[in-house]
Chains A and B, each alone.
Chain A
């Protein structure tokens, strides 16, 4: 899915309520787009293969319980006959009856328990499988598929499959067995009438196929609508502050109602189909009864059939009817599960990112970017960028907003892959390196804060390789010691989701400490200093210099003053390297750099006072 650049949003079913684009040509093929156009998903039954034994047990238990259920009427009939003949031994009858009843109870309950266990296990394993698959995927895939879709896959899609296992598997198989048995009995009594009666089965089958075909498409759409709902809710939660500031609750409500109405309308479409399906099937089987009455009545009157046979015919038909209706009900479950499993299967079948490298050497820190082009959709984010960084040096990347600075850092961590060109560490292409080894040596401080719902300790020592002394050093370096000391629970304070209890600067420093705790060979800072006051920033950078000797530093920044003494400053504009060199060189040769410098001069007066 190399074409699925994160910028695409077409994977989600809809844009905002107003001006929702009807069709977006050139949307990503397949990327997380749930299969509206593809009505048939993969078969559900291969999914059950690993649970063969359990499924067999379910079927056997269902069959046994059903069989025993047929015994009860016979016991009653026999008891009444024996009583009428004066030969009844009441105690025997009662004993037999109770034995059968208890056996049915136990069989049914065991069957239910096995079904519950099986369905929950299938659900759990399926979720585990999806997550294991996601774990091998790269960032562009996850971003292209969107959180809302993956959330639907892992919850409501899996639930639909679960329902299929818990309700449909046993009843469908035992229903088919009953239908075949009853059909054989019908044919053995009177094959002409039997055939006439069984003629309704193809009618039922055709009705099923037609309705199911349409329902499947609708189920796909229904899940898309749920994705859309998820997205609207999610954005209304993440944007809660903005919504309250501009008082746009009403607008959010409108968006939600649009998504909700879509979900309702699709639901009603499905409902109309099903509301007609089950009565039609029942009506078909009733027609069979009608056939028996008219045709069978004719045979009996003509003497070709006995009354007893006629009665038997009727009772076998009633045995036939129930499973047919049951399958009708279960088809709903099956259709939903089929559509859902189709979506899940697409996640599972998505190709894993290409070739994993194996090089795990310790990095020196030489970085070479040669002639890299990177596209976001149509837009060039980086345009033939080349850059050389020597191990142990400090490099700053400066440039206006949207110059491609962040993308450059993503390339250097392997979070994004270039459209063309090469990225090398110590003379080896980044692809040759083992991902884990690379990530353990390249610390990346992201621009926006990402906090986990864990303790501060776990947030900072997020990588598993962090030892206690690494943690302490990182906290010292990021100037977090005082802050942590001020917390009643210190490092064991739980950070809430989205880090809402922390200030912007605190979050930024925690992010830095998280990267430093790796003891990285290369440190990438993405606009780290934007949220930290100048005094703290200087302290921190000095700390880094002192505590992490030999570190190769690449800092994306807006401010020239703190990086004036860096070994190299790269000026990036509109995805192109405009100039690079030391501060002095750039001041001499690059008018754009001078312009940026001048724009910051007034500040420097104060900041030099402050320093």
Chain B
């Protein structure tokens, strides 16, 4: 096959944008079948292009990256003295993986949505936003400079806002969308400051130029230049916003107000992984600062375990998955913090498969139960919706880390790399990661048992229970099946050498991360250790399964007994450690009270309008004079002023002439 011309890369984002324009402007008047055809066509072609690009890039003679710049009107995007920013795309192996996830999983979720949204109002709006998301997400992963990445970054945030608030009549949905956008903006604040520092110290925003400058100035790192950790930590703040890490994770659980395909696409498979991608993309900056790397790892590990613990006690099936997503993203950050970027990206890839699958399957369950999301009202469904059950089972086993499912390999790789890392905290972080693996396995099997096994707890609907539960249509099941297959075999591309594989994904990403310091250290340690560690993590996963089996299948009621035994702990976890409440009580409420009480009443109405006391007195004085003279009519007052001013000006201008006359 011919290699793909570099300029074709531009079609990958621009085609979905065309789809957005068509559906966004005309969609309201088009029949649904046309709307969905447009949306599918404009996402299928980019997926095909990505496949072609992949084939091009993987030939033996292919360069390690392909660049393409466009100047549609003859100039850069931003072009001032001292700063140029281009519309520039670059594709390397990291981009390829991201593109595959975005366009591939994205296309599958588009297919699913055709069925899932079939009966919803605002069908055209949904697909327009979804295509717009594909546009921005492709821009994000293709960008060759920080600013263009930021375009995608903010753009996906916008789509997330619009799609979370898709059911905008519901107050909770409208509020959740707003919250997501604002919390993300806190992260973007960090991202922006990082870019400003980059401009100051590197004079450029292009990835290539920044990293080249960094490589040319090793003395910066040796002399401990403050700006390197500052930039890395500010970028991390941005990443923490987008990827829902501590302290900015609070928006993601609420984001579940959006339609389920949105949760699968944006809030599981693609957008929320943008932070991980950004950290991996900027790895030279993070590598240059051990402090920043350690912070990345600690935040990742802390987020992983905190979110997993909350996930254990949620009843809403989508919320369990949301906390699970936060927790798994924490794993990816942990990997990046250990310098094991390839392992992080590997987990990003497998997670995209199984988490998208889990969400879509959960959507299928919800669909089957006509909107029911509470697991306490499910149970015993496995015979009723077998395809959903079996595909979801693949997802559950994958995330729990049972070999040979996809999640096992990527998660195990992260734990192994953590254990063997040279970071002083590595044992602690590994233990946290291992514990999280156990909790993950526990809450996922809890979800599995509560949803599909045991007695049927479904509420009686009007026409009776047995009729209302129905398997979804083939258009929803097809993506489920494909993702289930990927969740089973997706991990095989990264089987470690210790298990007889060849670490394929790591070698694939070598051109991107080859310079990363942590990369070399590992290969030295033996295979024996790796096998032991793998065995431990499998045992932990099985233990999680066992407890879930015990609590929710063998002896249902154990869990609630346990909860009653430790009411304080249970309540604290159940209420998500009160973090939302803490933010509200210590940050938002005081800020608003300060604004209303001090700024508005004292400063604005007191000082500003009161320093105006002088002006005010003058006003009254003048008004009094005016009233005396021209009966307080403001218009004539101003008219007099105008005439007076005109007279003065005339006198000054024509003064000479007048003097001459006299």
A and B bound? no
**A interface residues (Cβ-Cβ under 8 A, vs B):** none
Which B residues have a C-beta under 8 Å from some C-beta of A?
A: none
